[in-house]
Amino acid sequence: MSEREYVGVAPFHAHGDLSGFVISGRWPATTREWAQLLALAVRVASLPGLLATSTVFGAREELPEDPEPGTVGLIVSEGPVLGDRVLTPGRFAEHQPPALLMLHPPTETVPSLPECAGAASGCILLPGLPHLGLEHRAAWVEAEADGTVTSMVSRVGIDPISDPDTAVLAMLLTA
């Protein structure tokens, strides 16, 4: 396998809080690959204390300082959806990221099954340009602290207002 065939994902943190993920090899190319990346992100978010509140992460094609060979970009914490540093609508109106993720810690996730108490969850929105025939895509994942993925759904052609998470992410993209 050549270096360009894989999607590498490595979480990073600052002061004990999840700050984002370094992407290496290449960016995900399909909705399925983005959903797999989301599953890994949710598994990380399920670790106790790593994510304090529901947080939005944005994909950036810029590189960190002194990147490792093969690094292609970052997915960084943009801020919480509630609280003191809340993100405002239109935050990404001038520069639309290729993907926005929202991760929910276990304390803010209502599990899909009663036996999944303590699960984290997340959503990814891959914004399209519907007027040009490029549909919005999204995925949703729920995972337990042991890494078990308890729910995974992906869709093409979604209406962002049909789901609370995609509605918030779409609101942040528009002015």
Residue 80 has pLDDT above 80, yes or no: yes
Ramachandran region of residue 106, left (φ > 0), alpha (ψ -120 to 50) or beta? alpha
Q: Where do the structural domains in the chain lie, given as residue ranges?
A: 37-58+75-173
What is the reported pLDDT for 31?
93
Q: What angle do CA 27, 33, 34 make, to 5 degrees?
A: 75
pLDDT tens-place string over residues 35-47: 999 999 999 999 9
**Averaged pLDDT score across all residues of the chain:** 89
pLDDT at 133 over 70: no
Is the pLDDT at 109 greater than 70? The verdict is yes
Q: Is the pTM of this model over 0.95?
A: no
At residue 1, the pLDDT reads: 43
